[in-house]
Amino acid sequence: MAAPHVLLVEDSEFMATRVAETLEEVHDFYVTTVDTADDVRAALTEYDDIECIVTNYELPETNGVKLAASINGRSEPEIPIIILTGRELEPIASDAIRAGVTEFVYKGDHATGEMDVLANRIDLVLKAYSDR
């Protein structure tokens, strides 16, 4: 079975490298990394095997909630979207859910211990979507 293909949307090169390397080397995911909403749309056109999107909340010219809404455009998303954020979740949660965000993971300054949580959430949403 092929490793699940995760699209990581992160504008910090440091964080993108850390998250992608950990997800690939420790948790056996295949990760494609992009840094803008436009790149997400291009990647979704280029790759037909992306199973999950993990996006930073704060992105250049937009945010993860607006990105989710532009991809899904409805409350039942076609592809699971996980927001990785250092922000407090309560202020963004209801808008995010309406936009089609599937899950949230809090990230600290260095995103170390959170990677196990993120990998677990990815596994859970992939299982939930495959059971449909």
The 10s digit of each residue's pLDDT in 101-122 is: 999 998 765 555 678 899 999 9
- Tell me which residue of 5, 100, 97, 8 sits closest to 48, measured CA to CA: 5
Number of domains within the chain: 1
**Parallel, antiparallel, or unpaired: how do β-strands 30-34 and 5-9 relate?**
parallel
**Parallel, antiparallel, or unpaired: how do β-strands 5-9 and 50-56 relate?**
parallel
Residue 129's pLDDT band, with cuts at 50, 70 and 90, is: confident
> What local confidence, expressed as pLDDT, does residue 119 receive?
94
Average confidence score pLDDT of the chain = 88
Q: Is 8 left (phi over 0), alpha (psi -120 to 50) or beta?
A: beta
What is the domain-level CATH number for residue 81? 3.40.50.2300
Residue 78's pLDDT band, with cuts at 50, 70 and 90, is: confident
Global pTM?
0.91
**Parallel, antiparallel, or unpaired: how do β-strands 62-63 and 58-59 relate?**
antiparallel
Q: What is the pLDDT of residues 54-76, one digit of tens each?
A: 999 999 999 999 999 998 754 45
Domain that holds residue 66: 5-131
Cα Rg of the chain (Å, integer):
13
**Residues of 28-56 as b/e, b for ≥16 C-beta within 10 angstroms?**
ebbbbbbbebebbeebbeeeeebbbbbbb
Quick one: average pLDDT of 4-26?
94
